[in-house]
Structure 1
């Protein structure tokens, strides 16, 4: 029995703050539900560098356009990321080789498919059926040592070089990203954030907040909580709630909560 493609509605919220310590905000974000694209970028390298890098990624991604397939969306986004990467490298040359770069985390959604693409330590979480899972793996020295078994979780949590990141856009010859894929379900809530949030707020607190309110209210509350704890860094949060399109009946929702067959990773790759 073939399933017809389903369009979801997305309740999106976004908020960003320089925090309590930094004098300017090097984070940028983009929310484009019509394109099925949301992202957070966290700049590094100080003024004229970090804010330039994160803004360049967000501004380039604005031109992703309206895709006609999951693969088309991913291709368009990756193309925009490469353009931003090259712009950032040229800025580094203008600053005599200074470090200019930004982490990026992007959520892509097309019909019932979603993909996460990231570089660095900004994160995507998914709250589904009241269970929170982190869909990204930090590109940090501590995480890589932990993943390889060289250090314990406890050691990773208190690693002295905790914020040393191993990947970022604009820093290497080519953009280095990781990807994760899945199927959207009604009721899914995604959180995209810079590490300014996760430095102060626990996964348990994130889960609790995502369960309760609309997307914008949740973003505002997460920022307020971070500020109340001293917000040592810039902090940016995007919340995306996956709602059913009104045309679906209650009966459809109950019998088919996932809307469509499980996705294979091939849906995000080139068609033959």
Structure 2
């Protein structure tokens, strides 16, 4: 299936910020794609996000498909431990942290692994399905019924995440979503700078077009004056 994959990727600091702390990696021969978003408000988020994609980039293409998902988990845990140790070794102690969403494709199946609020979506038959659930304070409020999804969009704690690579204790909790792909599916991985700037209908319209849809998504978010870094990776079957 990897021979049939087309993909596009684009990233931009956004309309307000100067530094881009997002990182991404596309390895179609391995069926691996990822977006990492350095945690805003902490030191060197770009260092944290690049550390994750660097370790994912070291996975051998000769790794058997049955072992690749476990290898991704191992690399994410390694990045978590490395960032924790580096932050603790600094004086004063700092937090080097990043969100991450990883897509693994093999034959007609996909797997998402993630920590934080970077997201994975599936576009199928004109409908955009969100396949990841944010690890954030606002998502917990929505899940508990304390606020509505509409209220979540403008909530003052919208940027507060509850899980990240390099933050918290030594144990890293990674969520997983599995599913089957179909011909003509398109999959989107993105940082929060994208989905907070664009509505679902606009994302669907852009993703269905021909051409570099990742660049189109980023350009549309910039036109909406996105306040955060913007990264989009789109995979087409």
Question: Which TM-score tier does this pair reach, normalised by the shorter chain?
Answer: over 0.9
Identify unmatched segments of 5+ residues in structure 1: 1-5, 243-272
1:62 aligns with 2:26: no
Q: How does 1:158-173 map to 2 (within 5 A)?
A: 158-172=154-168, 173=170
Between the aligned partners of 1:29 and 1:154, the Cα distance in structure 2 is 29
Equivalent residue for 2:197? 200
Q: What are the within-5 Å matches in structure 2 for residues 69-88 of structure 1?
A: 69=65, 71-88=66-83
Residue 46 of structure 1: CA displacement? 5.3
> What is the CA distance between 1:150 and its match in structure 2?
2.4
Do the aligned partners of residues 219 and 154 (structure 1) sit closer, same or farther apart at CA in structure 2, a change above 3 Å counting?
closer
Alignment length (residue pairs): 234
Q: 1:86-105, CA deviations, whole angstroms, 9 ceiling, x for partnerless residues?
A: 11112211333222200000
Q: Matches of residues 92-131 of structure 1 in structure 2 within 5 Å? A: 92-95=87-90, 96-131=92-127
Query: Which among 221, 224, 236 is matched to residue 226 of structure 1?
Result: 221
Corresponding residue number in structure 2 for 1:269: none
Distance change (3 Å), C-alpha of 1:165 and 1:126: same
Counterpart CA distance in 2 for 1:130 and 1:224 is 21
Structure 1 position 90 matched with structure 2 position 85: yes
Cα displacement string for residues 37-80 of structure 1 (whole angstroms, at most 9, x for unaligned residues): 000000025585201100000000001222323x4111111111
Name the SS for the 1:64 alignment partner.
coil
User: Is residue 189 of structure 1 aligned with residue 199 of structure 2?
Assistant: no
- Deviation, 1:8, is 5.5
User: Is the 1:114–1:183 contact (alpha carbons within 8 Å) kept by the matching residues of 2?
Assistant: yes
Give the secondary structure class of the aligned counterpart of 2:184: coil
Corresponding residue for 1:250? none
Q: CA deviation at 1:152?
A: 2.4
Please report how far the alpha carbon of residue 131 of structure 1 lies from its aligned counterpart in structure 2 after TM superposition.
Answer: 1.3
1:106-151 alpha-carbon deviations (Å, 9 max, x no partner): 1001121110111111111100111110010111101111112222
Q: Report the Cα distance in structure 1 between the residues aligned to 2:172 and 2:20, rounded to whole angstroms.
A: 23
SS state at 1:65 partner: coil
TM-score normalised by length of structure 1: 0.82
Q: Distance in 2 between matches of 1:150 and 1:97?
A: 35
How high is the TM-score relative to the length of structure 2? 0.93
Distance in 2 separating the partners of 1:117 and 1:21: 29
Shift of 1:220: 1.1
Matched, 1:241 2:233: no
